[in-house]
Structure 1
């Protein structure tokens, strides 16, 4: 592979990811390599473009594995805001499972909100959980992933396979 070419790579924070099937479908269409990273064994399709990575059960082990590899040309799929922040800082495209992109402009506020909610829960406030994942979220995710891959292709990044 020549040094001018860099393939698009998808990193999936997979333990609680509700859109793995959609990721596999879009990645297959675009011929993009996918790393499915988790703390436990997960079933993945038999496809040379999809690689399962099982990390140790250590705290943030999956996040650390992804963050160490994320950079320009990578797309990270995660709902974990601290991981999203690390990956955005490294130059990766980051998308939440609901299709919400994390950018330099939005990740700081998302992190601040997360920390505030964590503090409120620690003080005993009932804050509720996230809203249920919906078909609209799934559709928004598919669109956001397609947009991110096409944006990287226009920027000169390519598919992992012919």
Structure 2
């Protein structure tokens, strides 16, 4: 008797994601299903493995949709630290657009840093946002996504039928 393995799925928090094209390229190479989640229409490639999901305009609607589906065998692409925390807690692999993996070991510090920076910005002590996205970030992301998929395949997760 053969055991059917759970397909690997990628969930992209798409509204401000700078690496959607890279996700599509890696997913196509590995034949992995991608859900591009946003609260407004977004163009996606015409490919049966890529599904556009438009959620309501409610606060955190895209985050909630992704978090409800995140589990072991899924990869979530997001720069949103609270969403990353929810997904890591559910067992998903989570990667930021710069290639930074969010793990059980790192998510607590990421949340603390985010909250500290939010407080400092509110007090006017810090202005500006993250540094500009670079080619090095894009390359690191490609490597991290490819590595996550290979690791899941080795762990017994499969591809869609």
Shorter-chain TM-score above 0.5: yes
Q: Is the 8 A contact 1:117 1:127 kept in 2?
A: no
What's the counterpart of residue 16 of structure 1?
Answer: 16
User: Equivalents in 1 of 2:38, 2:125: separation in Å?
Assistant: 31
Q: Give ranges in structure 2 of 5+ residues lacking alignment.
A: none
Q: Cα offset for 1:126?
A: 2.5
1:40 paired to 2:40: yes
What's the counterpart of residue 142 of structure 1?
Answer: 142
Runs (4 or more) in structure 1 with deviation over 2 Å come to none
What's the counterpart of residue 73 of structure 1?
Answer: 73
What's the counterpart of residue 156 of structure 2?
Answer: 156
Q: Is the 8 A contact 2:117 2:126 kept in 1?
A: no
What's the counterpart of residue 100 of structure 1?
Answer: 100
1:112 paired to 2:112: yes
**Local SS of the residue matching 2:142:** helix
Q: Is the 8 A contact 2:35 2:51 kept in 1?
A: yes
What's the counterpart of residue 5 of structure 2?
Answer: 5
1:89 paired to 2:89: yes
Q: Give ranges in structure 1 of 5+ residues lacking alignment.
A: none
**Local SS of the residue matching 1:120:** helix
Output the TM-score relative to the length of structure 2: 0.97
**Local SS of the residue matching 1:10:** strand
Output the TM-score relative to the length of structure 1: 0.96
Q: Cα offset for 1:75?
A: 0.1
User: Equivalents in 2 of 1:36, 1:47: separation in Å?
Assistant: 12
Question: How much is the aligned-residue C-alpha RMSD, in angstroms?
Answer: 1.1
Paired residues in the alignment total 160
Q: Cα offset for 1:128?
A: 2.6
**Could you list the per-position Cα deviations for residues 101-133 of structure 1 after superposition, in whole angstroms to 9, with x for gaps in the alignment?**
000000100000000010111112224310000
